[in-house]
Chains A and B, each alone.
Chain A
Amino acid sequence: MTASGRGCIAWVPQDSSARAVGADEVAAALSAIDRVTVRRNGTRGMLWREPLVEVETERGRVGYANVTADDIPALVEAGMLAGAPPRATPGGAEDDHARRSVEYVGIVDDDPWLTAQDRVSLARIGLAEPTDITAYEAQGGWAGLRRALELDPEDVVEEVVTSGLRGRGGAGFPTGVKWRTVLQAESDLKFVACNLDEGDSGTFADRILAEADPFTLLEGMTIAAVTVGATEGFIYCRSEYPDAIERLRDAIAVATEHGYLGDDVAGSGRAFRLQVRVGAGAYICGEETSMLESLEGRRGEVRAKPPIPALQGLWRSPTVVNNLLSFAAIPMILAEGGEAYAARGVGRSRGTQIFQLAGNIARGGVYEAPLGISLRELVEDIGGGTRSGRPVRAVQVGGPLGAYLPADRLEVPMGYEELAEAGGMLGHGGVVVFDEGVDMARMARFAMEFCSVESCGKCTPCRIGSTRGVETIDAITATPAGAPGRDQLFVLLEDLCATMTTGSLCAMGGLTPVPVRSALTHFPEDFEGSPR
């Protein structure tokens, strides 16, 4: 087997989801072919197509989706290395998830799923090798940092305020306001901390961006540091993301070598040292004050606020704490101006949001679009409905603490206020789809169980309320409808939910009732208990 005379460059993603469906084996099979150079990019975000192999041709990069190592000989025989379509495989139309047939994507940059997006934070994912700093620069990298270094810190903060950027980690607090607080705080020592403890089920945009384009995060954090006067920074990454940890550490080493981090950031005379710290499998450490405790080396117990971390964060010093996606929006905001970012969105939800389509969905992946797109567009038009082909029954938006919305409520626009009005929350932009096979009493029970496993234990409503919640839901589903005492169990459950909502220290206990109550409201028939 030989490629064309001048050799061939094939791209095989190194993303951990792509690796989980065999990308490493595909890369090895391609590397074994004479004159083929394999390069490892991040994912383009079309996860249902992974492994997505791209071959460089004169027309552009030509894509082949769902490739396995076993497919390579036949694909090469059919002219893959010159960008030719694969031959039809006999009898292979069935889309059984165990044996997916290869899909010819054509020129990947022209793919409608990609071109319909408005990629700001994700603009560079999947295009280059993640730690290729030359490619990063060629694609517009560091322009935001350079501009930030030319401006007064107050003006940088003003750009971020103008952009309307709200924390993408879930809480939605205005990022510029937070930065201004840290900038104005008097202290010899300030920190920047990135919350990369993305523990919400159905959210993986942090991971994808960290693995595919780590310099964007580094640039956003560096802009924050030089703006507020912080000299040290931490990326707190969950241990479940080993590939992201490795990629970020590599990226920090490369950026330091090239002078973008260290004692003299981009020749500005300002110092910023950054390191990755690894969590230890505790969901609650995604809560910002728990994360701070964990970074300091303690149990990840929530801190009562005030004082806010912007004034007393890490080691009681002023600290900028933002989610990865918030930092990742910053380089563009500085490079193109806050107005350009604010021009996108709906209502008070400005800019773009990275939606993560997950669960029982045909086309799962990351999709960046202006805030305000409807949930139905995301689930049906973009996500292609369920993977099982059965009707959608419920969609959970915003992570495990978000509401379950029934299939007839999907017209809601995806914005902070708009979703809140519909009884949901935007959270981190996760969209998890369930088909009609879902048992919503089981999901409500799981919400309570998850809280009982992952509660930090500091406050009673969360620690004990969640355990009582599991018991009460078990009692409800074990009691036949109409049996004596059953109504009181619902009253008890509602009482527990109210106590957790009003009495918990943080969002973990405070929001666990959201999925429970939404399941009760929209799917009462699932609680019509027969013993399970």
Chain B
Amino acid sequence: MARAGRQAEELTPRSARAESVRDIALRYAGERGPLLEILHATQREHGHVADEDVVEIADVLNLSVAEVHGTVSFYHDFRRTARPDHVVQICRAEACQAVGGADLYTSAQELFAHREDVEVREVFCFGNCALGPSASIDGRLRARTTLDDIAAAESGWSR
């Protein structure tokens, strides 16, 4: 999905993106409190919520750009720049820390420090607290995760 989003962004004219975001916003505009739905859908479709998207969405919802920007920037999930090829999320909350989650996070950061196409993010809780440490690699949740598990997943990625 991320790759597709990226390619779309690179290969299609900018106005096509604006068009698409406007369509998304219009699709949800009639619902109650549609802004988060629109932002999620925009990110699903385009990989992130760009500044130009914010302008389109604000226009459709008759909100100020500042209001939409304020919402986008408040939430950890919304990205304002393109997503890297791989995202490793590691839980740093207490239950996972009790079984080494904090150290796993640090080690994973070191493991991928030289990789620009990989992002290591902290997350607070996947609800997998009985089987920690928990990590999600490209959207797939893993339990009792070790650094070896993460390295093994990496070896499956095409470079």
**Residues of A that sit less than 8 Å from B by CB:** 16-17, 19-21, 47-48, 50, 97-98, 198-204, 206-208, 232, 239-242, 277-283, 294-301, 314-315, 356-361, 364-365, 387-388, 396, 400, 430, 432-435, 438, 442-443, 446, 450, 453-454, 456
- Residues of B close to A299: CB separation below 8 A: 70-71, 74
Whether A446 lies near B94 (C-beta < 8 A) is: yes
Whether B76 lies near A297 (C-beta < 8 A) is: no
Interface residues in B57-116 (C-beta closer than 8 Å to A): 67, 70-71, 74-78, 91-99, 102
Q: How far is the CA of A454 from the CA of B75 in the complex (A)?
A: 10
A-B contact pairs, 21 of them (CB 8 A): A17-B127, A47-B131, A50-B131, A199-B125, A202-B93, A232-B32, A239-B77, A240-B127, A241-B127, A281-B77, A282-B76, A283-B124, A297-B33, A297-B35, A356-B130, A359-B132, A400-B93, A435-B98, A442-B102, A450-B93, A453-B124
Whether B35 lies near A280 (C-beta < 8 A) is: no
Whether A20 lies near B128 (C-beta < 8 A) is: yes
Closest approach, in angstroms, between the C-beta of A429 and any C-beta of chain B? 12
Nearest to B128 among chain A residues (CB) is: A17
- Residues of A close to B33: CB separation below 8 A: 277, 295-297, 314-315
Whether B143 lies near A443 (C-beta < 8 A) is: no
Top 6 A-B pairs ranked by shortest CB distance?
A364-B130, A297-B35, A201-B93, A280-B75, A359-B98, A358-B129
Whether A359 lies near B131 (C-beta < 8 A) is: no
The contact of B71 among A239, A297, A442, by CB within 8 Å, is A297
B39 within 8 A of A: yes
Nearest to A206 among chain B residues (CB) is: B127
Whether A204 lies near B128 (C-beta < 8 A) is: yes
- Residues of A close to B97: CB separation below 8 A: 443, 446
- Residues of B close to A359: CB separation below 8 A: 94-95, 98-99, 129, 132
Nearest to B91 among chain A residues (CB) is: A201
* Additional A-B contact list (9), CB under 8 Å, known A240-B123, A298-B67, A359-B95: A20-B143, A204-B127, A208-B127, A280-B76, A300-B74, A396-B94, A430-B129, A450-B93, A456-B74
Q: How far is the CA of A206 from the CA of B129 in the complex (A)?
A: 13
The contact of A280 among B77, B91, B98, B126, by CB within 8 Å, is B77
Whether A432 lies near B36 (C-beta < 8 A) is: no
Whether A433 lies near B40 (C-beta < 8 A) is: no
Whether A17 lies near B40 (C-beta < 8 A) is: no
Whether A294 lies near B98 (C-beta < 8 A) is: no
Q: How far is the CA of A523 from the CA of B8 in the complex (A)?
A: 55
- Residues of B close to A282: CB separation below 8 A: 74-76
Closest approach, in angstroms, between the C-beta of B124 and any C-beta of chain A? 6
Closest approach, in angstroms, between the C-beta of A481 and any C-beta of chain B? 25
Closest approach, in angstroms, between the C-beta of A294 and any C-beta of chain B? 7
Whether A98 lies near B146 (C-beta < 8 A) is: yes
Nearest to B121 among chain A residues (CB) is: A281
Whether B39 lies near A280 (C-beta < 8 A) is: yes
The contact of B129 among A202, A242, A387, A453, by CB within 8 Å, is A202
Q: How far is the CA of A282 from the CA of B91 in the complex (A)?
A: 14
Q: A17-B130, A17-B131, A357-B130 are in contact. Are A298 and B71 (CB under 8 A)?
A: yes
